[in-house]
Amino acid sequence: MTKPLILVVDDEADVAEILKIRLERQGFEVVTAARGAEAIRKARRHLPGLVLLDLMLPDMDGLEVCKALKSDPSSRHIPVIMLTAKSSSTDEVAGLELGADDYITKPFDFGVLFARIRKLTSASQPAVPAADPTRVLKAGKLVLDEDRQKVFVGGQEAVLTTLEFRILGFFMKHPGRVYSRDALLSGAWGDHVTVVDRAVDVHINGIRKKLGKAADYIETVRGSGYRFKELD
């Protein structure tokens, strides 16, 4: 298997170089971009396994870059981690609403960063041609194929981000149970994830929008969290 390619987007040359060196030591291949327009071009040309995207760029906002990548069919499947010095929950929510898969503020722990990158890149790797039927989850109009990382609603594909896919898969494996926001993110994403409550709600709202007719399969339980409806 080829090494996952990471596109590092940061206008601070020393930060980009440190990230490049540390990521290469972890077994990744790395290309860098210092400007937003350059990042979009390189993402479309190289189709990396993940984009590590700084929010503050000289020519355009990192949110604009994320929006451009997620609105293009050729690049919308590429996981994006927002990497920024801003710690406002408003910035975090804005990035997630545009399709970012994760959000990490500077200064950050490299171990945590690498763990999140590995999880996202492993989830986006091509699957084996023949899917294991035990890894295909079905509920009403919904079909979730874990091997191909695809979701279908009534036969039509719904394109979810990596984290949205994990959350929906976790729900479908545990129908009828109520999960708090913390429990939901821990079960779907693993340890070392810290997000504000509103960011969790953004993920749920994003899933619902993409599920269309199956949106009501995910129920809100006031004061407790969320539940995936038990279906016959």
Q: What is the pLDDT of residues 72-117, one digit of tens each?
A: 888 888 999 988 776 566 666 777 777 888 888 888 888 888 988 9
CATH of 133-228, one of 1.10.10.10, 2.40.70.10, 3.40.50.2000, 1.10.760.10: 1.10.10.10
Q: What contacts 111, CB < 8 A, 6 or more positions away?
A: none
| pLDDT value, residue 2 | 64
pLDDT above 90: percentage of residues in the chain: 42
Distances (CA, A) of 112 to 167, 170, 206: 20, 22, 25
| pLDDT value, residue 127 | 42
Distances (CA, A) of 162 to 8, 79, 101, 222: 19, 7, 6, 26
State the DSSP H helix or E strand holding residue 69, giving kind and residue range, or none if neither. helix 62-71
The one-letter amino acid code at 43 reads: A
Burial class (CB in 10 A: 0-12, 13-18, 19+), 137: middle
| pLDDT value, residue 123 | 58
Model confidence, pTM: 0.64
Domain ranges of the chain: 5-123, 133-228
| pLDDT value, residue 91 | 65
Ranges of residues in the chain whose predicted pLDDT is under 70: 1-2, 86-92, 123-134, 188-197, 232
- Largest Cα span, the chain: 56
| pLDDT value, residue 128 | 39
CATH of domain 5-123: 3.40.50.2300
3-state secondary structure of 107: coil
